[in-house]
Amino acid sequence: MSKQNKQNAVDIQILKFKLSQLEKKFQETDVLISELLSLKPNATIYYQKSDTNIFFMENNKQLIKDDKKKNHAKLKKEIDKIKEKIKKLEAL
């Protein structure tokens, strides 16, 4: 096995690991969106801001739903990009 082939094999393994992590996040986001869509109209939502351990009560549920849907779409794009990279590397 040449040096380039070894490097490609390592790159593929790294990408597959990243892909599994992203797919897990994607599934978690999918479940979260489903739960948000099934909430009762008077339900209280607490939202964790990025990079903090503090939760805030959120009055605008639609903002949270839109944010999670945007994140869901972003994850899907990243997953698709990594799958394409893996296909290219496997074809070499």
Give the model confidence (pLDDT) of 52-91 as tens digits.
Answer: 888 888 888 888 888 889 999 999 999 999 999 999 999 8
Q: Using pLDDT thresholds of 50, 70 and 90, give the confidence band for residue 3.
A: confident
Q: Hey, what are 10's tokens?
A: 């390592």
For residue 21, pLDDT beyond 80: yes
> Is pLDDT above 80 for 1?
no
The total number of structural domains that make up the chain: 1
Q: How confident is the model at residue 5 (pLDDT cuts 50, 70, 90)?
A: confident
d(CA 74, CA 87): 20
Query: What are the phi and psi torsion angles at 46 (to 5°)?
Result: -110, 135
Question: Which range marks the domain in which residue 7 is found?
Answer: 3-91
CATH of the domain at 24: 1.10.287.370
